[in-house]
């Protein structure tokens, strides 16, 4: 009797599994930001179209449909073995909880994703073909003939806004038959982003800020404002005004640049800087500032110059093009934390760091600040809408230049900068004094240890996806 029941159960179970497999439900999702792709779900396949590059990918679970025309490349999903030639691919995988499918990459050692179990074991796609590596798909930012039918493009398109770019997580999710999960994650990202942006709409005195870059081509020096959709929207959404001011033209005219940038309270820099430990001097030299402390420009006196490569792997490669582009809600909060530090005083910027400090403090990615079992890439903190934040309480020295000397001695230490340099911080500190300080000390140390590991980076060699390559070819994949 018993064996028979058991056998019957077994048969029943197997047929259930079999049915589930064959049926393979494909998620029905719709895009919401006009991101440059569409997903059309049919009974037995899905057409995912890259409308920017006009490529149609056909996705199926069981058997490739034979009666469907116009598909450029077919993929059996879920894909299990993934290669990437663009760092954002790693960010999408991490956000989707699929980092373990990553088997190959162009220049693996330049990847910063701390959840790649063994970077050394990844196949290097610069020397091995996708077919030889037995991959199911390779995510690239341009057509790679060597990847043939396995190649899938994800954008490197400067015309995309931060949210449009991030919605591509749904595109990548479709290859795992998890478009619906991906869409749910993106919805949260979008909602948090729009909430924080909305909270910046009531500033009484919106800050002026520019995203700049110095480039030398041959003998010609270029001084640029970056005004692509990503940079423009990110600054504006963080509350900055006049970031859409015409870029100085011609961009070889240093005087025009200096006068255009003069009203900035903060400058975000994307220049390739190589003199580790002396990057601020290098920056000032590049942009022709000889007497910064006496400059008319407030941002120079305050040394409010920031860069986005403050979160790195041990080799010095920036994490920004990998994780940040996937989480614009967090990047936005990084920008807000600099432009409006009073908005959320417990927020510590992840990617942005202050170039104008006395030390070059950056954070090395590791277990202290990234838990692969509870990854913050896949967790979106909620944001409450508010209309009361006018940015006026901080009385930050917009243009006054008064605090500059004090700042330049203490700002090397992020902790001091966060806890005590604003005027409110000082008043509160003075009144409540020691009690709060002790309590805060414990909290801060705890938070701090978890979140940031201050390191002085010297003699770094940036290669692969890191700042040197990415920043040089800002238009290719490291545009931000
Ligand atoms: C923006 O810049 C222009 C000059 O480029 C200036 O006339 C205008 O007053 C500025 N607007 C604000 C709100 O600062
Ligand atoms: C402020 O930042 C902290 C730390 O990142 C975060 O946990 C919290 O949700 C933020 N608060 C608001 C209102 O956004
Ligand atoms: C900020 O500055 C304004 C005018 O300069 C002043 O009236 C106000 O009291 C200051 N607020 C704080 C919190 O210091």
Domain 192-402: assigned CATH number = 3.40.50.1980
Question: Ligand 3, atom 7: nearest CA belongs to which residue?
Answer: 395
Residue 207 clears pLDDT 60, i.e. is over it = yes
Residue pLDDT, tens place only, 218-238: 999 999 999 999 999 999 999
- Residue 245 CA, closest ligand 1 atom number: 5
- Ligand 3 centroid–CA 241 distance in Å is 22
CA distances (Å), origin 445, targets 304, 363, 449: 25, 15, 6
Fold classification of 22-187 (topology level): Rossmann fold (3.40.50)
**Residue 446: per-residue pLDDT:** 52
- Ligand 2 centroid–CA 416 distance in Å is 19
**Residue 243: per-residue pLDDT:** 73
Question: Ligand 1, atom 6: nearest CA belongs to which residue?
Answer: 242
Choose the residue to mutate in 395, 398, 422 for probing ligand 3, maximizing ligand atoms within 8 Å of C-beta: 395
Longest dimension (CA), the chain: 95
Q: Are both 22-187 and 192-402 of the same fold?
A: yes
- What mean pLDDT, rounded, does the chain reach? 82
Of 264-278, 346-360, 386-400, the poorest mean pLDDT is in 386-400
Ligand with the closest atom to the CA of 241: 1
- Ligand 2 centroid–CA 332 distance in Å is 12
pTM, to two decimals? 0.79
Question: Which amino acids bring their CB within 6 angstroms of ligand 2?
Answer: 344, 346-347, 381, 383
Ligand with the closest atom to the CA of 345: 2
Residue pLDDT, tens place only, 80-118: 999 999 999 999 999 999 999 999 999 999 999 999 998
Choose the residue to mutate in 241, 242, 246, 248 for probing ligand 1, maximizing ligand atoms within 8 Å of C-beta: 242
Residue 479 clears pLDDT 60, i.e. is over it = no
Q: Please state the domain extents for the chain.
A: 22-187, 192-402, 428-476
Residue 328 clears pLDDT 80, i.e. is over it = yes
More confident residue, 442 or 386: 386
């Amino acid at each position: 009797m018993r064996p028979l029941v058991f056998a019957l159960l077994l048969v029943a179970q197997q047929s259930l599994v079999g049915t589930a497999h064959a049926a393979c439900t494909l998620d029905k999702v719709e895009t919401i930001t006009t991101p440059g792709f569409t997903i059309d779900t049919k009974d037995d396949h899905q057409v995912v179209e890259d409308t920017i590059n006009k490529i149609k990918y056909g996705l199926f679970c069981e058997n490739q449909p034979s009666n469907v025309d116009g598909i450029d490349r077919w993929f059996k999903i879920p894909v299990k073995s993934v290669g990437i030639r663009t760092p954002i691919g790693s960010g999408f995988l991490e956000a989707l909880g699929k980092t373990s499918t990553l088997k190959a990459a162009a220049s693996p050692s330049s990847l910063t994703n701390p959840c790649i179990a063994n970077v050394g074991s990844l196949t290097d796609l610069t020397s091995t073909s996708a077919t030889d590596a037995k991959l199911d798909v390779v995510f690239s930012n341009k057509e790679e003939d060597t990847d043939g039918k396995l190649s899938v493009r994800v954008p490197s398109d400067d015309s995309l806004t931060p949210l449009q770019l991030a919605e591509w997580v749904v595109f990548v999710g479709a290859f795992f038959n998890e478009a619906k999960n991906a869409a749910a994650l993106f919805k949260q990202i979008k909602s948090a982003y729009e909430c924080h942006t909305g909270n910046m709409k009531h500033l009484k005195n919106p800050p002026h800020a520019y995203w700049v870059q110095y480039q030398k081509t041959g003998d010609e020096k270029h001084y640029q404002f970056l005004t692509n959709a990503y940079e423009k929207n990110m600054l504006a959404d963080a509350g900055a005004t006049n970031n859409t001011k015409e870029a100085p033209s011609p961009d070889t005219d240093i005087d025009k640049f200096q006068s255009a940038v003069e009203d900035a309270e903060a400058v975000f820099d994307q220049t390739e800087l190589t003199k580790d430990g002396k990057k601020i001097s290098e920056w000032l030299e590049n942009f022709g500032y000889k007497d910064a402390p006496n400059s008319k420009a407030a941002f120079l006196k305050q040394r409010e110059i920031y860069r986005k490569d403050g979160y790195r792997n041990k080799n010095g490669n920036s994490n920004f093009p990998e994780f940040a582009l996937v989480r614009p809600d967090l990047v936005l909060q990084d920008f807000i934390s600099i432009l409006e530090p009073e908005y959320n005083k417990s927020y510590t910027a992840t990617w942005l760091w202050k170039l104008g400090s006395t030390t070059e403090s950056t954070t090395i990615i590791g277990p202290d600040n990234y838990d692969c079992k509870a990854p913050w890439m896949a967790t979106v903190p909620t944001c409450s809408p508010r209309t009361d934040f006018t940015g006026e309480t901080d009385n930050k020295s917009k243009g006054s230049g008064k605090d500059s000397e004090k700042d330049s001695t203490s700002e090397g230490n992020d902790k001091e900068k966060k806890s005590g340099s604003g005027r409110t911080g000082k008043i509160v500190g003075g009144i409540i004094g020691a009690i709060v300080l002790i309590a805060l000390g414990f909290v801060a140390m705890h938070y701090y240890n978890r979140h940031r590991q201050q390191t002085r980076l010297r003699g770094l060699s940036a290669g692969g996806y890191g700042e040197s390559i990415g920043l040089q070819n800002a238009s290719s994949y490291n545009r931000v």
